[in-house]
Amino acid sequence: MSWNKFIAQQAKLDYYKNLQLFLQEQERAGKTIYPPKALRFHALDLTPLENVKVVILGQDPYHGEGQAHGLCFSVPEGIKTPPSLRNIYKELSLTIPGYEIPESGNLEHWAKQGVLLLNAVLTVEKGAAGSHASKGWEIFTDNVISEINNREEDVIFLLWGSYAHKKGRLIDAQKHTVLKSTHPSPLSAYRGFLGCGHFMRVNQLLSEKGRAVINW
């Protein structure tokens, strides 16, 4: 099944219809919503279901102007690298030999290699973190995870922080690999994320299965 077909199926369900009504009401009220409409499913557009090798779960889009573009932890070219992503880059530099921290915070090149960068909630009101939580997006993205769990095999899920850990209930750990750590935010990165070795482990697992490794 393609993601387009999956979205079409979800669109028939009541939760999704209610979610779209909420978003339309927000727009009519003059609220600015991030990311732009064309980028709400950017993660799915860049990483087709059959290409998914790795799933990284985020929580909420960035709510500052120009930051959100539909991929968790990622920002478009020219936007300052956010603190959590700086720690992700730091972990890569600690564990991947020869890794040089890039100036850009754009992770589209990961997505194109099969890393699904999925936020649990796909929209947010400008300047209001968490403002679109519990409106229906969590059901949609839980269903995305279940679709991957059911249809694919040997996918590696990176669950960082307690919010992401809760999504582990949707994943069959016999079919897939689940790697957990604390969140890369400055508040928790030094309590388990830095030094977790997840990026190196991902490439070891892919290599063992004869699959192309990720060029982080």
Which positions are annotated as active-site residues? 60
Sort 74 into a burial class: Cβ within 10 Å, 0-12 / 13-18 / 19+. buried
Q: How many other CB atoms are there within 10 angstroms of residue 104's CB atom?
A: 14
Question: Which tokens in the block code for residue 47?
Answer: 């990483």
Ramachandran angles phi, psi of 181, nearest 5°: -155, 180
Could you give the angle at the alpha carbon of 132 between the alpha carbons of 126 and 138, nearest 5°? 140
Ramachandran angles phi, psi of 76, nearest 5°: -65, 165
Question: Which tokens in the block code for residue 31?
Answer: 């609220």
Q: How many other CB atoms are there within 10 angstroms of residue 203's CB atom?
A: 19
Q: How far apart are CA 168 and CA 103, in angstroms?
A: 32
